[in-house]
Structure 1
């Protein structure tokens, strides 16, 4: 199967995951691999959306200006609600926790991100599926961000899912 971004076709290699706002696919143009995010409009009872494609672009610009390690946004197809971004190959923090390969340095890197985010009045989605480790560096592979609130910061919410806590194990049991 193929999907196009602004009329350039990409072959779907695999579904990487489904989030609140879209489906992410590993795609190829025959030479290089990318991530193609297809926005969806399925209901989400715990999150309110405006214009999703516009929010993705704005959030990308916001995170990039703050200096958060994220994949490069390569192209945006407004009409078809698709985003093409750099593919960061590696295991997610979720996979590392699940397979007992998590390292303390990754938590330290997340805290370093927070030192950039909080003064910029910004929270990201700290859930561990949103972070990939490549060559020892964690990348936030989602672009979602919101104005800072203490309730949803890393220390009060995100950290609960960065080790085999009861919250993490409940998620594993109920959703995977």
Structure 2
């Protein structure tokens, strides 16, 4: 099959292609003319490596993600499993059903596993969760980051970064379903606590609250 573009994002193009006899999803980070060539190449390579590493590590932690088949650091491409499913956003917009709340709890559990291992997703929103045959997958690790260590309750730098991830999720829920955002986030946070632990999760949530206060102050 010829390449079929299915999405064009801020930093990458997603397309389908036939690779070794199977249909795969390819994420290709394209050059940005407004950046210096050396910096652009460095940034695209770094993000490609981090994304592939994060997906592989997530799978090792038991988190359902698309399988990584090939990483091309010359053309900044990742070939991965093509999943046919329904975005959690679509389900969420149809209503805060028990199934949706359960998926949010599961997603929170996934993020707790990542954070406990020192991996930041970078963009943990319902748009980056896909339901395939009633199974929730996490996708799009393009902004992921590795701390290089397991976080502790005294690790302020790690707690801050983890708090940013939580805030991204809460803000996305507020944008999608403002009136029900607290109930939805509670389900997500319950799953987060289950896998990360009460003490560390509570510390992260405190940092999230501080981050939200700083943002409100900055935009006044």
TM-score (norm 1): 0.70
Question: Which contiguous aligned blocks of 4+ residues in structure 1 show a shift greater than 4 angstroms?
Answer: none
**1:8-157 paired onto structure 2 within 5 Å:** 11-18=2-9, 20-29=10-19, 32-42=22-32, 49=43, 51=45, 52-100=47-95, 103-124=100-121, 125-144=123-142, 145-146=144-145, 147=147, 148=158, 149-154=161-166, 156-157=167-168
Higher strand fraction: Structure 1 or Structure 2? 1
Count of aligned residue pairs for this structure pair = 153
Q: CA–CA distance in 1 between the matches of 2:137 and 2:53?
A: 18
Residue pair 2:67, 2:80 contacting (<8 A) in 1 also: yes
Residues 59 and 29 of structure 1: is their aligned pair in 2 closer, same or farther, counting only changes over 3 Å?
Answer: closer
Match of 1:165 among 171, 175, 178: 178
Q: CA–CA distance in 2 between the matches of 1:25 and 1:101?
A: 32
Structure 2 partner of 1:173:
none
Residues 87 and 75 of structure 1: is their aligned pair in 2 closer, same or farther, counting only changes over 3 Å?
Answer: same
Larger Rg over CA atoms? 2
Name the SS for the 1:153 alignment partner. helix
Q: How far apart are residue 88 of structure 1 and its match?
A: 1.2
Q: CA–CA distance in 2 between the matches of 1:82 and 1:50?
A: 10
Residue pair 2:56, 2:68 contacting (<8 A) in 1 also: no
Q: How far apart are residue 34 of structure 1 and its match?
A: 1.6
Q: How far apart are residue 81 of structure 1 and its match?
A: 1.6
Higher helix fraction: Structure 1 or Structure 2? 2
**Which runs of no fewer than 5 residues in structure 1 stay unpaired?**
1-9, 169-176
Q: CA–CA distance in 2 between the matches of 1:21 and 1:58?
A: 18
Residue pair 1:11, 1:29 contacting (<8 A) in 2 also: no
**Which runs of no fewer than 5 residues in structure 2 stay unpaired?**
36-41, 148-157, 182-220
Structure 1 partner of 2:212:
none
